[in-house]
Amino acid sequence: MRASLIQIAVNEDESVVSRRVRAVDLVREQSGSADLVVLPELWTTGAFAYEAFGTEAEPLEGPTYEAMAKAASEAGVWLHAGSIPERDPDGPLYNTSLLFSPSGDLAAAYRKIHRFGFDKGEAVLMGAGRELVTVRLPQTTLGVATCYDLRFPELFRGLVGAGAETLVVPAGWPERRRSHWTLLAQARAVENQAFVLACGTAGTHAGVPQAGHSIVVDPWGEVLAQAGPGEEVLSVEFDPAQVAKIREQFPALKDRVLGLEPPRR
């Protein structure tokens, strides 16, 4: 299976419209060389450009949906189109990922469960999703999560319990915590015996330099490929059958113990 992670640069001197056009071109360029294409979190606005969340929010089937559905079908690829600030007509904003099939149909939408910022930013501006999302592709079952979700192993356990073999994590991870990014991507791969495809942004927005360094990790925890800091398409070929082999040869997932007793005192 071939995957291309589009580590697009999000700088505030470029308009959302221009970046969307560039993203469409980059997806189209993967035609014939990728089965799955991945874009990062909130690449229209930037994950830290909090003021833009409200002004650039779109309905689910808004301009980014339209552009990405078309790009997926033109390129003939499965497309994880990263996430958008979604304006729910009956509720708050959500950080919502969109996944399209090669025919351009929406295969799934995932509303980010863990919002970043503690008492400010995304944590107060957006609502929290509640549902785990997996998507069956011909080659593998994807489990999706977004950026800060990477810090919450129980979410990934839930995805694995629902059949996920390849964990896809679009992000807008800052340079300041790049070491956590690489470490956590490897940890989620090892503990869940799954591939991890983690796609970040490059550039600087809202004064926050982005880490880049998108990464693909195999189910043994080995880094198959890692991008540099700038805009880049990280292409990788991997064998999804490795998941079943490793889970059989080293069946640690079968030894999970759920529902432990709390300490007595």
Ligand X SMILES: NC(=O)CCC(=O)C(=O)O
Region of 55-63, 171-179, 196-204, 241-249 interacting with ligand X (CB under 6 A) = 171-179
| Positions 106 through 125 that interact with ligand X (CB under 6 A) | 116
| Catalytic residue list contains 70 | no
Q: Choose between 151 and 157: whose C-beta lies nearer to ligand X.
A: 151
Q: Which of 58, 86, 122, 147 is catalytic?
A: 147
Contact residues for 129 (Cβ-Cβ < 8 A; gap 6+): 94, 95, 96, 110, 111, 112, 113
Contact residues for 259 (Cβ-Cβ < 8 A; gap 6+): none
Q: Read off the amino acid at residue 96.
A: T
Region of 22-30, 58-66, 168-176, 230-238 interacting with ligand X (CB under 6 A) = 168-176
Choice from 65, 78, 100, 148 touching ligand X (CB under 6 A): 148
Q: Are strands 78-87 and 36-38 parallel, antiparallel or unpaired?
A: parallel
Q: Which of 56, 58, 86, 112 is catalytic?
A: 112
Helices and strands (DSSP H and E) totals, the chain: 7, 14
Choice from 137, 147, 202, 234 touching ligand X (CB under 6 A): 147
| Positions 33 through 92 that interact with ligand X (CB under 6 A) | 41, 47
- Nearest-angstrom CA–CA distance, 10 and 139: 31
Closest CA to 196 of 225, 176, 175, 174: 225
Q: Choose between 78 and 116: whose C-beta lies nearer to ligand X.
A: 116
Q: Choose between 206 and 225: whose C-beta lies nearer to ligand X.
A: 206
Q: Which of 41, 86, 165, 231 is catalytic?
A: 41
Q: Output 48-52 pairs: Cβ under 8 A, ≥24 positions apart.
A: 48/121, 48/172, 48/174, 48/205, 48/206, 48/207, 48/208, 49/10, 49/12, 49/205, 49/206, 50/120, 50/121, 50/122, 50/125, 50/206, 52/16, 52/85
| Catalytic residue list contains 245 | no
Q: Choose between 120 and 177: whose C-beta lies nearer to ligand X.
A: 177
| Catalytic residue list contains 41 | yes
| Positions 179 through 218 that interact with ligand X (CB under 6 A) | 180
Q: How many residues bind ligand X (CB under 6 A)?
A: 11
Binding interface with ligand X (CB under 6 A): 41, 47, 116, 147-148, 151, 172-174, 177, 180
**Catalytic residue list:** 41, 112, 147
